[in-house]
């Protein structure tokens, strides 16, 4: 196999940008029915809740119900192009008519010769299940499983520094920089003893991340450098093979048992039923101008009910304008900059990949949960 010693960003070249998400500038299709008598609607430029209620629900007074149905909307006067709204009170479109057997009574008109010779129609098809009524969207992950495994996480500082069950102490060919297919020896110093066939992850503690708003530490970045396959275990020594390389590995790098929450490829994110807001704390490589396909750290995690596959809309507040005639301030809606999809989570933070980018984001920009993987 060809060795992989490329950098972390190179590994992210595996990212597949096929998410079912569209830029705000793209005109939304008509609402698609979903289970439970609801439909979804993608906001277009110039839309208002009352206008949507009038055009789609045929009753402008239902704007409040739309607001109640979408908790992520903090101000009913501020909705933005690209937002996906759940619309209440709409019944799913009836299934297409199916052929039924002719009635026994004679038809009013004589049947055509071709119809007389036709075989009896098939029995009616079963009604479509709720799953069949979902929008035709493929739940494609924003990155391959290998790229997700190589992505960093932001961990509480003490947990990051003390992570690991051992360290790389030797390579079979005395190499200083190690990569895919190299054979390395791990010296154990923890209580856990791996078994032959187990997978270990090689990790390295990175820099501290300071929250751009609170100026407090969120923890340290924990980089994944590669994966090891255990081939032999003797006392406190483990022989391994580098089965996948994310970045160059060195003697002294720590190893941990490999665990990774799988990306929910079999599920589709729905409009969020609750409000979760957060902030882009930093990018994985401290990039200040963030766009596709950068990785970012968000200050929300498992404690807020966030998991892989959840989608956050990225916003930046706009300063108010002043009406020169009256001297009064006029509020300006915030800019919607793009979207980020969560791929890894810890208790208080999430690693997300920028999947849609209409403008560059930066640390400190706000994020709002817009779509969520339903249990």
Do residues 241 and 228 make contact, with C-beta atoms less than 8 angstroms apart? yes
The tokens describing 161, both together, are 């520094």
**What are the pLDDT digits (tens) for 167-180?**
999 998 888 889 88
As beta bridge partners, residue 257 has: 200
DSSP 351: E
Task: For residues 52 and 48, give the distance between their C-alpha atoms in angstroms, rounded to a whole number.
Answer: 6
Establish how many alpha carbons lie within 13 A of residue 6's alpha carbon, considering only the half-sphere containing its beta carbon.
11
Q: Is 139 exposed, middle or buried (0-12, 13-18, 19+ CB in 10 A)?
A: middle
End-to-end CA, the chain: 39
Tokens 């010779």 correspond to what residue? 117
**pLDDT recorded at residue 199:** 96
Do residues 354 and 319 make contact, with C-beta atoms less than 8 angstroms apart? no
Three-state DSSP class for 167?
strand
Distant-in-sequence, close-in-space partners of 153: CB < 8 Å, separation ≥ 6:
221, 222, 344, 346, 349, 351
Tokens 């390295």 correspond to what residue? 204
**pLDDT recorded at residue 45:** 80
Do residues 151 and 225 make contact, with C-beta atoms less than 8 angstroms apart? no
Do residues 294 and 283 make contact, with C-beta atoms less than 8 angstroms apart? yes
Which residues of the chain are modeled with pLDDT < 50? 1-37, 91-96, 98-101, 116, 125-139
Task: For residues 153 and 157, give the distance between their C-alpha atoms in angstroms, rounded to a whole number.
Answer: 12
Distant-in-sequence, close-in-space partners of 84: CB < 8 Å, separation ≥ 6:
40, 41, 42, 43, 271, 370, 371
Distances 91 to 32, 33, 51 between C-alpha atoms, Å? 11, 7, 20
**pLDDT recorded at residue 328:** 93
**pLDDT recorded at residue 59:** 83
The tokens describing 270, both together, are 């729905």
Q: How far is CA 59 from the centre of its chain?
A: 34
Q: Which domains does the chain have, with CATH numbers?
A: 21-90 (3.10.350.10), 152-257 (2.40.33), 269-373 (2.40.10.340)
**pLDDT recorded at residue 40:** 83
Distances 160 to 127, 254, 338 between C-alpha atoms, Å? 53, 11, 30
**pLDDT recorded at residue 24:** 36
């Amino acid at each position: 196999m060809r060795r992989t010693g490329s950098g972390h960003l190179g590994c992210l070249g595996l990212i597949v940008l096929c998410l079912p998400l569209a830029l705000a500038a793209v005109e939304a299709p008509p609402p698609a029915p979903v289970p439970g008598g609801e439909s979804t609607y993608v906001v277009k430029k110039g839309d208002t809740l009352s206008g949507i209620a009038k055009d789609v629900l045929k009753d402008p007074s239902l704007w409040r119900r739309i607001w109640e149905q979408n908790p992520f909307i903090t101000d009913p006067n501020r909705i933005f192009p690209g937002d996906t709204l759940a619309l209440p009170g709409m019944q799913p479109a009836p299934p297409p008519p199916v052929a039924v057997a002719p009635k026994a009574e004679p038809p009013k008109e004589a049947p055509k010769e071709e119809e007389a010779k036709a075989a009896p129609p098939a029995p009616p098809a079963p009604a479509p299940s709720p799953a069949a009524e979902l929008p035709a969207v493929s739940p494609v992950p924003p990155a391959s499983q290998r790229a997700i495994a190589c992505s960093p996480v932001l961990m509480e500082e003490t947990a990051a520094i003390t992570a690991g069950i051992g360290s790389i102490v030797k390579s079979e060919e005395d190499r200083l920089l190690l990569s895919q297919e190299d054979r390395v020896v791990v010296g154990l110093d923890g209580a856990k003893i791996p078994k032959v066939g187990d997978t270990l992850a090689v990790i390295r503690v990175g820099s501290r991340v300071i929250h751009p708003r609170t100026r407090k530490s969120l923890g340290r970045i924990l980089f994944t450098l590669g994966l090891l396959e255990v081939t032999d275990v003797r006392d406190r020594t483990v022989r391994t093979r580098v089965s996948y390389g994310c970045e160059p590995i060195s003697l002294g790098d720590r190893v941990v048992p490999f665990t990774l929450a799988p990306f929910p490829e079999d599920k589709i994110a729905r409009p969020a039923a609750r409000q979760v807001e957060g902030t882009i704390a930093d990018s994985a490589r401290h990039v200040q101008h963030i766009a596709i396909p950068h990785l970012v750290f968000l200050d929300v995690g498992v404690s807020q009910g966030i998991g892989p596959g959840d989608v956050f809309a990225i916003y930046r507040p706009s300063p108010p304008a002043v009406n020169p005639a009256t001297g009064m301030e006029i509020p300006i809606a915030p800019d919607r900059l793009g979207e980020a999809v969560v791929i890894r989570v810890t208790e208080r933070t999430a690693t997300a990949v920028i999947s849609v980018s209409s403008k560059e984001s930066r640390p400190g920009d706000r994020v709002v949960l817009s779509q969520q993987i339903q249990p």
